[in-house]
A = this chain, B = another copy of it.
Amino acid sequence: MAKRIEGTTPREDGFRWPGEFEPQSQIWMIWPERPDVWRDGGKPAQEQYKNIATTISKFTPVTMLVSAEQYAHARNVLPPEIRVIEMSNNDAWFRDTGPTFIKNDATGEIRACDWGFNAYGGFYDGLYFPWDKDEALAQKVCDIERIDSYNVHDFILEGGSIHTDGEGTMLTTEMCLLSPGRNPSLSKEDIEKKFYDYLSIDKTIWIKDGIDPEETTGHVDDVACFARPGEVICIWTDDPENSFYEQCQAAYKTLSESTDAKGRKLKVHKLTMPKKDVTIGKDFTIDYVEGSLPREEGDICIASYLNFLITNDAVICPQYGDEYDSLAIKQLQEIFPEKKVVGCPSWEVVYGGGNIHCITQQQPK
């Protein structure tokens, strides 16, 4: 009923990875709490997670996974329409630690790929240790939903490092996927073969760099994504003084010159970066942990509007109190006329190293 499929691959079994813009049955999240990641004991981050979850739940059911220690508190502050399930975890990035759900269009069956996870780089340049609970999380989720899964623990992959058009095209970055902290023994071709077998991908578009080499080693979900087959969205700034100017130009160039799995030339939409850098403020207090990077006043955070979530009838867009907050919403609304674009404050998530897309994951219908 929730078994590990052995001896076949998703491609052989007729499964593909649907695009984020396809119909969803629910959105998964994990409740943040680590005092060495989230400032002030996690309380400001919890408030923003709650607001993001509540906003999403107006469009798509949300399940929030919560540690035993935080369960009573989370159940109390989250509205009843959000399903809260106890689950141990090392941190709150379901995009990266959860399974990737795949679909068989002929039967309607949903299965999942349960990738290896090593906290964004393991002992090479990973962000925390241990990561055993995060590694175990995907199978637990599948068991709850009675979803069969493929064990791909021999391949380190985070959901935030890949995007698809649902029609055989993959978008990813070399910075992350080819990092020595991920799968140092695998070549680009080996990795494309994994995508071919497990996600039914026929063509991978490789963007060279992400924008956060020190955090996720350049996840693509801060840089570009598909709006629909044939159309991508790319971070953008015209301002040469912007901290991410070079990366915007490079990614845009790559995408503009790319064709997808079906041979289509991609239409590339531009999505603004914030006007000003989002930075770490004064009196920013997280617990000390041996080996972790401290956060210091003035540190530039990775605040990309591109890290939005596409869900049923809506797009949930990060907001930073920046002058370009409303411009980002306006641009997304033009790209997604069929959906309602809703802004959610997410700077506390950014302080922790991620954003709305990083902390959510869609389960296709």
CB atoms of A86 and B140 under 8 A apart: yes
Interface of A is mostly: mixed
Q: Does A85 count as interface, using CB distance less than 8 angstroms?
A: yes
Given A1-B80, A80-B3, A143:B88 Cβ within 8 A: no
A59 within 8 A of B: no
Contacts of A82 in B (CB 8 A): 1
Is A4 an interface position by the 8 A CB rule?
Answer: yes
| A88 to chain B: closest residue by CB | B68
- Asked if A286 is at the interface (CB within 8 A of a chain B CB), the reply is no
A75 pairs with B143, CB closer than 8 A: yes
Q: Say whether A86 contacts B88, CB under 8 Å.
A: yes
A279 to chain B, nearest CB (A): 37
**Nearest neighbor of A132 in chain B, beta-carbon distance:** B72
Q: Which residue of B lies closest to A72 (CB)?
A: B136
Query: How many A residues, CB 8 Å from partner?
Result: 25
Q: List, in ascending order, chain B residues with CB within 8 A of A71's CB.
A: 136, 140
Give A68 to B133 CA distance when docked, in angstroms: 9
Residues of B within 8 A of A133 (CB): 68
Asked if A83 contacts B144 (CB within 8 A), the reply is yes
A136-160: contact bitstring with B at CB < 8 Å (1 yes, 0 no)?
A: 1001100110100000000000000
Chain B min CB distance to A120 (Å): 23
Contact at B3–A143, with CB atoms within 8 Å? no
A143 to B85, CA, bound (A): 7
* B-facing residues in A1-58 (Cβ within 8 Å): 1-4
A113: Cβ under 8 A from any B Cβ: no
